[in-house]
Structures are given as C-alpha cells and as structure tokens.
Structure 1
Amino acid sequence: MAFLKRLGFFLVGLSIGIVFLTFFFKKKTEETGTSFCYFPNCRVLKDLRSKPIAYSEDINELLASNKLDTLDIETFFRDGDIDFGKSNAKAVPCRTYVIEGAIKEKKAILEVKNCPSKVLVERITQF
C-alpha cells in the first residue's frame, strides 16, 4: 500500500476519533461538572471547597456586623490565588494557606487552616 494511501486512512481515522472524543468529553463535563484541576492552586482550592467551613471569632464578628458576607469568602475559594510562599503547606495536622482575592473591588488576603475534617477561616485583611 502506498504511503499516501496509508496517510489518508490514518487522517480519516484520526479525525473521526477527535470528533468522537470532543462530543464525549463535552457531554461528560456538562453532566458531572468535571474540570481540569491538576495545578497546585486549583487542587488546594477544590479541597477547601469540599469541606465544611468554620469561622474564627474575628470573622464571625464581621459576618454579624454585615461588613462581610459568606459569599465573599466563597469567592476566595473559587477565584482566589494561593500564595504558597507565605503559606505553610507542611504543617500538621492543619495546613495554613494565604489566599489573595478581592472583596467588592478591593484587594484582600484570607488566611485559612485546612484541617482533615474542616476548613477554619482565621483572618481577613483588606487593602
């Protein structure tokens, strides 16, 4: 069989396979909400979102005075950037993470402890 004929069969099969995988993975991500999450920032934020959240006394005071909302904190867990240089990811039993984000268009830093059974939001600093 000539090289061009083999190349043609290969390209036809490859294109059919790509179309099949595109539809298969698109359907899978729409149904289950799966996403590509292999970078360290994404993995830590996903782990934080999967656990129940507890708040320190300082955060509870801010929540009670309506200066802060739980949706603002959830925004950090979804869109925040973890500063691994300031975080202590090797602490036992609770790892400490510093998450940078924004609250009402202002830059803020959230400090959380990631324990095995829960996430403790310790402190928030706004600029």
Structure 2
Amino acid sequence: MKFIQRLGYYLGGFSIGLIVLAFFLNGKKVSCDYGPEARVLKNINSKQLNYTSSHIADSTLINHVLKFGKVNFSESNTRKEPCGTYNIEGLYNADNVILTIENCDSIATIKKVKIEK
C-alpha cells in the first residue's frame, strides 16, 4: 500500500471521528481545563460565593473577573490550612480589579476587592 493511500485512509477515519465527536458533544458544556489557573477558576466558579465585607463591589464586576481574570499564584497562599487564598486579577471597564478569595471545600469567600483606576 502506497503512502498516499495510507494517508487517505487515515484522514478519512480522522474526519469521521471528528464528525461523530461533534455530533455527540454538540450543545453540551464540555471543557478541557488542564492548566492550574483554569482549574482554580473553575473550582471557585462551581461553589457558592460568600462576601465578608459590606462594601463589596457589584456582582457583575466579580463575575466578570472570575470568568476572564488571571490567578496570580506568586501573591496567593495556596497551601494555607484549611482553605487556600487566591489573588485573581482582571480588567473591568478599564479598571484593574484584584479579588482576594478564600477557597474552602464547599464554599468560596471573597475577602477583599481592590479596584485600581
């Protein structure tokens, strides 16, 4: 069997597999969160959020930063017992927002919101 025939069979099977996957996964909320930053954000977003301060910013700002923000691991204390503390940085309406979140097993608590203009 020539190389071009083998390549044709491979590409044919590969394309059929992609079509089958697209059919089965169409409309489902499937994600591939393999990086540590994506896993932390997904873990925090899956929990109930509590607010400790009465002057916390609006929930739209917090949800936006939790969805599109970046985790600053150098400023975070991930090994703290019993709950790790994470600093999440993001932009919202041209303002730099830093959230300090304590991530426990069943609940995530927003400790501090810092907005820098």
TM-score of the pair, normalised by structure 2: 0.84
Given that 2:89 and 2:99 are in contact with CA atoms closer than 8 Å, whether structure 1 keeps it comes out as yes
Structure 2's unaligned 5+ residue stretches are none
1:61-108 CA distance string (max 9 Å, x none): 24xxxxx21111111211110000010111111100001012332012
Q: 1:4 to 1:52 in 2, by over 3 A?
A: closer
2:53 pairs with 1:54? no
Structure 1's unaligned 5+ residue stretches are 63-67
Q: Taking every aligned residue pair, what percent have the same amino acid on both sides?
A: 32
- Rounded to whole Å, the distance in 1 between the matches of 2:94 and 2:16 is 46
Moved over 4 A (4+): none
Matches within 5 A, 1:20-99: 20-25=20-25, 27=26, 30=27, 32-57=28-53, 60-62=54-56, 68-99=57-88
Bigger Rg, structure 1 or 2 = 1
Paired residues, what number?
115
TM-score of the pair, normalised by structure 1: 0.78
- Rounded to whole Å, the distance in 2 between the matches of 1:55 and 1:93 is 18
**RMSD of equivalent CA atoms:** 1.9
Greater helix content: 1
